[in-house]
């Protein structure tokens, strides 16, 4: 914990005496992270040709399915404004979605229902949704950029902490590498 914060129950007191929740602190951190192609460039430098970004939505939700998306973006096309969807308003997300689909090599979406989440828990359901989304990609990726996990798929993978913030959303070796 930084010297400018103090824990107060489940809230944090900042130096200026404002109390914020852990979720608010995380959102502030995500906003500070710069979205770059750092992990994609590392994968390309390692010989990868088709790098897929994979992420889920709905993991923090109490009701409803967990949905995952996988996308292989064209290396030579940058989609301006693309970043973690939690940091974008609905209008911006709806504007970017068709641009992503039109300017990518491949994309896929998969969902895992509530009954399955209840049976195997949200972590495993998120992982299952990610694996299903990746399995639908054609062409098949040779490197995956994932948000803080490794999935059962035969290719190199890079697990990135807060993965969709520093790397464009929907990243070595066969082993996973976590990055702060």
Q: What is the per-residue pLDDT for 171?
A: 32
Is 133 within 8 Å of 68 (Cβ atoms)? yes
Instruction: Look at phi and psi of residue 108 and say left if phi exceeds 0, alpha if psi is from -120 to 50, else beta.
Output: beta
Q: What is the per-residue pLDDT for 174?
A: 30
Q: What is the SS3 string spanning 84-143?
A: CHHHCCHHHHHHHHHHHHHCEEEEEEEEECHHHHHHHCHHHHHHHHHHHHHHCCCCCCCE
Q: What is the per-residue pLDDT for 118?
A: 92
Q: What is the per-residue pLDDT for 28?
A: 65
Q: What is the per-residue pLDDT for 58?
A: 82
Q: What is the per-residue pLDDT for 18?
A: 63
**DSSP classification of residue 163:** T
The C-alpha atoms of residue 100 and residue 134 are separated, in whole angstroms, by 16
Is 83 within 8 Å of 165 (Cβ atoms)? yes
Q: What is the per-residue pLDDT for 130?
A: 96
**DSSP classification of residue 44:** H
Give how far the C-alpha of residue 26 lies from the chain's centroid of Cα atoms, to the nearest Å: 14
Instruction: Give me 121's structure tokens.
Output: 């828990």
Q: What is the per-residue pLDDT for 89?
A: 86
Chunked into runs of 10 residues, the chain (180 residues) has average pLDDT values of 43 55 67 70 94 88 87 87 78 92 95 94 94 97 92 94 53 33
Give the global pTM.
0.72
């Amino acid at each position: 914990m930084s010297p400018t914060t103090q824990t107060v129950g489940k809230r944090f007191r900042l130096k200026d005496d404002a109390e914020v929740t852990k979720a608010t602190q995380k959102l502030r951190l995500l906003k500070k992270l710069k979205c770059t192609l750092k992990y994609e460039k590392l994968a390309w430098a390692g010989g990868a040709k088709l790098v897929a970004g994979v992420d889920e939505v709905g993991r923090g939700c109490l009701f409803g399915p967990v949905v995952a998306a996988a996308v292989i973006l064209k290396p030579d096309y940058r989609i301006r404004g693309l970043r973690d969807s939690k940091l974008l308003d609905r209008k911006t997300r709806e504007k970017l979605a068709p641009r992503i689909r039109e300017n990518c090599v491949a994309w896929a979406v998969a969902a895992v229902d509530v009954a399955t989440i209840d049976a195997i828990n949200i972590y495993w359901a998120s992982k299952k949704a990610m694996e299903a989304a990746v399995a639908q990609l054609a062409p098949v990726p040779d490197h995956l950029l994932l948000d803080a996990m490794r999935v059962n798929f035969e290719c190199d993978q890079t697990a990135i902490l807060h993965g969709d913030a520093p790397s464009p959303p929907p990243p070595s070796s066969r082993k996973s590498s976590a990055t702060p």
